[in-house]
A and B are shown apart, each in its own frame.
Chain A
């Protein structure tokens, strides 16, 4: 390896445990992070957060120096999704803070607990259009659960405690703390009053028993029950309860993109991905079921497609979500249960008698036969072949992070794992460039595991500068690039839905990823033939540091089934019809 590497553990001095009676705001902040159990932060220093970085070496925190603030936000997100803990990112004011926004939106849309700490120009300069001033509070309002601008350092411990509580409680989300540089330098005492609230932020109380009993009655009486599950089940650690309920009801289970892994993909009742690019048999089962249970999911347009054709034969729709605002927002469920997914699922499992539904199971099995997942066999490298080889090399604890686009759907549909939290992707925002930095964050949370990043070449080049971070911080992610020389999903949309006019989707120039990988100090390989897949992956996995493998896949490879824009789930088109 030609690039000098060093783990920036910031432990060259004895870790600071006790603060002096008079500490700076920056020290109060760092001590408060330690108190919240933070061990790793992702960030970049700049003019307005230098006091924090001045004191950072005094605290037992691992700081991972990223190359762009968007990377810091995605890394904090990946760290949080992989570990179940709160991810933390740091940025300076102005462009540094604004660069975080895409990453914060990505995390917030997917209910990921992240705390972002931004430097701000000195308090007296706020509002004067000072150098590197930005209204990060205003700019981030719609992509945060809450935010603070601290103008008195004595408030820092209380704000940090509340921020972490809010980020991780109820429906998790993003909290931003903006601290002017002079407040970071202000001397203050450690003891501070906690924030007193008129309405303390808390998780919802116990779900209403009446609604649970109603839902249990609907499911018990169902002839064709169907379950759809999302990431909320993973957040609530409800995968066991989900499996139990599905088996009790003999109900097939589909998952959202974010729910990938909440139900074992090899389970006989698993129908895989639902929605716009979901499996034909899952979408058919949603269309034909008589009782639909949706749990820990929002039911956005990518799940429902045309709303009036979503579950049209369902006599009852049950919707469980911890966020009351998600109930009735799109799908008007007649049984709405506010509550923790695990609690409600476990309660339902107790109340519903076990019943086999052989006719319904036979019908679903028939759809599986009628609508199998198919892909071309044309001598070109198919993404499914690459992914199968990748997944075959992963153990049960290993983590896959998908980017956005065709690669994301291929990776989700092919994923063969059995646990939540092992397949990560940007489901709500669909942020291209997510995979590599999020994989680096996940690797920081689990240094002992293999972490795979799966991207297209379009998304990969959006954040590939973070390869430097991976090498420097010794986070040996394996980046798989499914390189089709196109903005693939957009190209498929143009081909299928926009009159076949290919406009600005060809990447006439894609970099030589092998050279690029080597330039960053990574292992690099390129694969054009099926026979080369295994050896290249073996070499990449055997390499101790980060690796990039450029798979030159069939440029015409598409995702099927797909629901044409504006149509409903039953209108999916398949590969054979395409």
Chain B
């Protein structure tokens, strides 16, 4: 399969403005549910690296299901066949399901923590464009820590454009991605029907 070069717009942008993220064609958004077992993250990342896929961002944490850890991955497929991401992940014994939700209607949410400099106001962050939200989470003495959330591109780009003072710092986590409807409009399944071989 020849790599596509034209950027694709996500389907069905929602009114909340969170589903309009543009992805370069070779970036895939992958939702993986894995068993909560020792070493499972290593298995996933090792597999992707070995097969020539780059992990651009990754968010890992608890899910509503007991014993299941949810992973949201943004994968740079490079020149590899992108369908191999899900096919290979599904072969891992500890993977419960793996879905490519790049073309599904998806809400993606990135979070950042900003440590503002001593004399900088939290109000600076209000310049961040909608739908980015901010919340002061800690204020003591000279330091103000603000949580920032929003679409992945908007959070990171917004923080860069603010040109915060050198005394400030911030970190941005990998975005969480939740498919709310499949590319064909149906409600996404749990992926339990994936064949294990």
Contacts and interface: CB of A to CB of B under 8 A. Distances in A.
A353 interface: no
A324 B50 contact: no
Contacts, number: 63
B81 A323 contact: no
A145 B93 contact: yes
A204 B96 contact: no
A46 B83 CA distance: 44
B197 A141 contact: no
B38 A149 contact: yes
A323 B91 contact: yes
Interface string A135-177: 0011001100110010000000000000000100011000000
Interface stretch (B39-47, B107-115, B116-124, B169-177): B39-47
Interface stretch (A70-78, A325-333, A478-486): A325-333
Contacts of B88: 325
Query: Which of A149, A198, A201 counts the most B-chain CB atoms under 10 A from its CB?
Result: A198
Contact of B1 (A201, A204, A332): A332
Interface residues of B, number: 31
B39 to A, nearest CB: 7
B135 interface: no
A202 interface: yes
B186 to A, nearest CB: 19
A142 B50 contact: yes
Contacts of B194: 199
Contact of A142 (B46, B83, B97, B197): B46
B35 A198 contact: yes
A338 interface: yes
Given A142-B50, A149-B38, A323-B91, A201 B96 contact: no
Interface string B18-57: 0000000000000001010011001100110010000000
A234 interface: no
Interface in A21-75: none
A138 B83 contact: no
A197 interface: yes
Given A324-B90, A325-B87, A338 B42 contact: no
Interface in B55-80: 65, 67-68
A198 B91 contact: no
A149 B95 CA distance: 18
B197 A146 contact: no
B195 A324 contact: yes
A336 to B, nearest CB: 11
Contact of A329 (B65, B84, B196): B84
A203 interface: yes
B15 interface: no
A160 to B, nearest CB: 15
Contacts of B96: 198-199
A387 interface: no
Contacts of A328: 1, 81, 83
30 contacts: A137-B39, A141-B46, A141-B47, A142-B46, A142-B50, A145-B93, A146-B93, A166-B93, A198-B33, A198-B35, A198-B68, A199-B95, A199-B96, A199-B192, A200-B196, A201-B93, A201-B196, A204-B195, A204-B196, A323-B91, A324-B90, A324-B197, A325-B84, A325-B88, A325-B90, A328-B1, A328-B81, A329-B81, A332-B1, A338-B197
Interface of B: 1, 33, 35, 38-39, 42-43, 46-47, 50, 65, 67-68, 81, 83-84, 87-88, 90-97, 192, 194-197
Interface of A: 137-138, 141-142, 145-146, 149, 166, 170-171, 197-205, 322-325, 328-329, 332, 338
Given A198-B33, A328-B81, A329-B81, 18 more contacts: A138-B42, A141-B42, A141-B43, A142-B46, A142-B47, A145-B91, A149-B39, A166-B93, A199-B96, A199-B194, A322-B197, A324-B87, A324-B90, A324-B197, A325-B87, A329-B84, A338-B195, A338-B197
